[in-house]
Amino acid sequence: MSKEEFPSEKDLPQEDQEKQAKAAEADKAGVKDDKEEAAKLADVELDQLKAEVAALTQKNKDLEDKYLRSQAEIQNAQRRYSKERANLVKYESQRLGKDILSSVDNLERALQVKADDEASRQLKKGIEMTLEGLVRALKDNGIEEIKADGEKFDPTLHQAVQSVPAENDDQKGHVVQVLQKGYVYKDRVLRPAMVVVAQ
pLDDT tens, 9-50? 555 566 666 766 666 665 665 556 677 788 888 888 899 999
Output the pLDDT for position 99: 87
CATH entry 3.40.225.10 includes domain 92-198: no
pLDDT in tens, 132-179: 999 999 998 889 999 999 999 999 999 999 999 988 888 899 999 999
d(CA 58, CA 119): 89
What residues contact residue 50 under an 8 Å CB cut-off, 6+ apart? none
Residue ranges of domains in the chain: 33-91, 92-198
- Using CA atoms in the order 166, 170, 172, 173, what is the torsion angle rounded to 10 degrees? -140
d(CA 127, CA 107): 7
Position 6 pLDDT exceeds 60: no
pLDDT in tens, 94-114: 888 888 999 999 999 999 988
The radius of gyration of the chain from alpha carbons, rounded to an integer in Å, stands at 50
Q: What is the pTM of this model?
A: 0.56
At residue 1 the predicted structure's pLDDT band, cuts being 50, 70 and 90, is: very low
Interval 115-142 mean pLDDT: 91
* Cα angle for residues 135, 148, 132 (degrees, 5° grid): 15
pLDDT in tens, 63-82: 999 999 999 999 999 999 99
